[in-house]
Structure 1
Amino acid sequence: MLTRRRFLGYSAAGFLAATAGCRPANLKWFSDLQEEPANTRLSLTDKTRLAELKNRFLGYPVNMNTPPEAFFAWRHQLFEAGIDRFAYNNVGNPFQPSPIPYNTHDFERETILRFGELFAFSPGNIWGFLSHSGTDSNMHGMYMGRTLLKGRTGETPKAYFTKESHYSIQILADLLGLERIMVDTLPDSGMDPDDLGQKLADNPNHPALVVATTGTTFKGGIDWLDPIQKALQGYPSYLHLDAALFGGYLPHTTYAGEVLHASETNPTIGRYDSIAVSCHKFFGFPSPAGLFITTESNFNEFNELYSQIHSPEYIGHVPGTITCSRDGVKPAEFYFFSSPSAWAKQTEDAQAVLQNADYLIGEMQSHFADLLPQRANALSNTVYFKKPDDWIVEKYSLATMQLEIDGMKEHYAHVVVMPHADRKVLTEFLTDLDRTG
């Protein structure tokens, strides 16, 4: 038996030697590392080269700028305080006491409250948490909507969204056992409220779980909230807003109204029930995470129904989240991005993103009209166009899809103008396009 005394007496090498007979033969970490041929080892030179080329990453919605030094100083302060030195776990509801003292619920709670107020949720009526990703936030929104609507009506809702929404919505609808109703889109790729109204009328016996997208994945389209809400009048419904990318920058622009929870005409009425925003897209947070924000009143009603599904005795309260253990480090780190100074930088980045998107679509329409460049709306940082030569797709990591436009199927690519995509990079991209002419 390996006693505590014997364990403490082993050095690392001695412990490995003592337990060598218990290890599978294929786990030869140290010997393999020493014997590995130099030309097959992980090349730091290649990694350095990739880091140098990161500003050319134009095809996907990720901010490749390195966070400011103040962020890493904040990380260091957290580390000095013990966070990330051993297991931190944000299990359960961050607005309730946790049985696990090693958590960062205070940072998580404050972050949600700050962003909730930024999105114009009523103070005192905000609930949420930091999720594993934007998809995780969407899952919680759709699950909450399904639970509430079934609890209110006794019927399982049907899920309404468009083909332009993120592919995860299709997966989540399947995971949650929801019948999918595909709503037509307008020429700008946003949800057609008239078609939504017709399909709601075709399914009068089921409540509606509507997933609206502010910034569709490929075209950057917007499912405009106010016409959707008008179509939903008279129907039991829950409206979840997937604002993974646009929800990061729109609050800092003159277009903030498209993601605000409060109605301009009646601030006491919410324009949606919950919102998902990705932390690793616009903000430049260096690992996947997501914000999920809803009202406290929605949460309390949901939690009452949720408490009937399982026993919360183990953690002392109904958690309100699908996942049990949650990362306790990321909420403390992402708290940095909710400070006034961080918001000032986000405002600067948001303005640059839209100005550079203006520049790119203007230049492409002037000089590369044959590629049929399009931008769905003035709020979008996405420009899509007929797919250029493969070497350009590879150089700039462009995402490509086959689209049907005006009855014609053609392969398209897009550029998502993120904070790192400055005029220098965009001009290089335009110059490369010109070389293909």
Structure 2
Amino acid sequence: MLTRRRFLGYGGAGILAVSSGCRPQHLDWVVNQAEASPEINLSLADKAKLKTQKNLLLGYPVNMNTLSDDFFAWRRQLLDAGINTFAYNNVGNPFKDSAIPNNTHDFEQELILRFGKLYGFPPGNTWGFLSHSGTDSNMHGMYMGRTLLKGRTGVLPKAYFTKEAHYSIQILRDLLGLETVLIETLPDGGMDPNDLKQKLADNPSHPALVIATIGTTFKGAIDQVDRIQEALKGYTSHLHLDAALFGGYLPFTAHAGEVSYQSQSNPALARYDSIAVSCHKFFGFPSPAGLFITTKSHFDEFNELFSQIHNPEYIHHVPGTITCSRDAVKPAEFYFFSTPSAMDKLAEDARSMLQNAVYLMEQMQSHFSYLQPTRVNDRSNTIFFRKPSDRIVEKYSLATMHLDINHQKQEYAHVVVMPHADRKVLTEFMTDLDKDSMPLS
């Protein structure tokens, strides 16, 4: 197996790099529109224009900052070692030896252990992997919860979540064949623990698979994990956290306890069972990926049940993952974000991002109060408000939704203040609001 130590010793182009003598001369691809389908406009020039416009994306939780030179230097080191020049595959459990030597399981193990520590998982009791996306991580969390709960009780659980949960939760609930118990929300959009308690009492014969959201998609609400756990006392349950965006930056703030596995008041007490965090949101990783982290003890129990369904002898271990072949390049690349220097930069980004969210909220309250701007808590980087003109929605790629506010359906938009949304970008946005908008009736 190729280890970090071994490949970091390689120099120059590396023994596995593609030789320039093996590639055709003048391999400069020019898009030939005559070869494209008539309905498709192929233009690298159009793609290049996005580099000058990317910082205007305010409506979706994507960090559009260009990654550091250190990240691209790391990529070159990986390339020099042959990673991403021929087939690599992280099939199976990254904490087991693989029958396929061309893998990056060692990088994957290390980044899971480092991020597990960041989220407060106990040393020696951490398991996880780098998934294809946040939805993939949620799928594994919900499948693990369903498997464990059915294994313990012989009964399929019911899935508990709110209408504010990400739409992928509804898809995954359907995919897993689970009955939904929809929980009411508090005024800020977070799960109502009292309604959860009542719904649990109404369904005593089924275990509970609860999916809590740390940072709801449109409003930025945070489900109260500790109050949810209080409601779950006495019930057989599995609590999975969808912390796609907020789980990226909260560990670097004074609010790290929101996503901590261990209770701050009682470290022996677990606050949840598994967590999903997106890599392409706050971190700015350049392609979709996700962290899935749970305890090794949960995984071992799950894998014993999983082995009754899927035990492929030819890969030399029970994989413990839903997907079989897994991307081996992403874990090696994302390993960069677990390094001390990258963590320092993430902490800096988290601080400035929340400061800019405060700035935007204050300015909108001061100058655009008629848009009814709302930031539901001090941990959120999301401000939602009455929908402005279509021109502004299009320029800044704003997400829009109809919300029921005071028993009236009204169309709203939101800004998600990501690291690229600095004061200059936010000032331009508000200048456009000032030019474009008249008070709404």
Length-normalised TM-score, structure 1 = 0.91
In the TM superposition, 1:216-365 aligns within 5 A as 216-365=216-365
Size of the aligned set, in residue pairs, is 412
CA distance in 1, matches of 2:256, 2:34: 55
Q: Aligned letter for 1:86?
A: F
Compared CA separation, residues 407 and 78, structure 1 to 2 (3 A):
same
| 1:309-344 deviation per Cα after TM superposition (whole angstroms, max 9, x unaligned) | 122212111101000000000000000000010010
Show structure 1 runs of 5+ residues with no match: 1-10, 14-28
Helix, strand or coil: the match of 1:314?
helix
CA distance in 1, matches of 2:339, 2:23: 43
- For residue 78 of structure 2, what is the aligned residue in structure 1? 78
- For residue 396 of structure 1, what is the aligned residue in structure 2? 396
Helix, strand or coil: the match of 1:138?
helix
8 A Cα contact 2:220 2:381, kept in partner: yes
Compared CA separation, residues 309 and 187, structure 1 to 2 (3 A):
same
Is 1:418 equivalent to 2:418 in the alignment?
Answer: yes
Q: Aligned letter for 1:291?
A: L
- For residue 121 of structure 2, what is the aligned residue in structure 1? 121
Q: Aligned letter for 1:314?
A: Y
8 A Cα contact 2:252 2:350, kept in partner: yes
Deviation at 1:30, TM superposition (A): 10
Deviation at 1:185, TM superposition (A): 0.5
8 A Cα contact 2:61 2:416, kept in partner: yes
8 A Cα contact 2:402 2:410, kept in partner: yes
Rg larger for: 1
8 A Cα contact 2:31 2:44, kept in partner: no
- For residue 431 of structure 1, what is the aligned residue in structure 2? 431
Q: Aligned letter for 1:384?
A: F
Percent identity reads 72
CA distance in 2, matches of 1:330, 1:36: 30
Q: Identify the range of structure 1 (190-199 vs 359-368) with the bigger mean alpha-carbon deviation.
A: 359-368
Deviation at 1:45, TM superposition (A): 3.3
8 A Cα contact 2:283 2:346, kept in partner: yes
- For residue 63 of structure 2, what is the aligned residue in structure 1? 63
- For residue 201 of structure 1, what is the aligned residue in structure 2? 201
Helix, strand or coil: the match of 1:53?
helix
Q: Aligned letter for 2:53?
A: L
CA distance in 2, matches of 1:264, 1:146: 28
- For residue 386 of structure 2, what is the aligned residue in structure 1? 386
Deviation at 1:266, TM superposition (A): 1.8
In the TM superposition, 1:30-45 aligns within 5 A as 42-45=42-45
CA distance in 2, matches of 1:98, 1:393: 49
CA distance in 1, matches of 2:304, 2:126: 17
Deviation at 1:147, TM superposition (A): 0.2
CA distance in 1, matches of 2:35, 2:103: 42
CA distance in 1, matches of 2:370, 2:32: 54
Show structure 2 runs of 5+ residues with no match: 1-21
Deviation at 1:367, TM superposition (A): 1.1
Compared CA separation, residues 364 and 31, structure 1 to 2 (3 A):
closer
Q: Aligned letter for 1:96?
A: K
- For residue 25 of structure 1, what is the aligned residue in structure 2? none
Deviation at 1:369, TM superposition (A): 1.0
Q: Aligned letter for 2:59?
A: G
- For residue 9 of structure 2, what is the aligned residue in structure 1? none
Q: Aligned letter for 1:84?
A: N
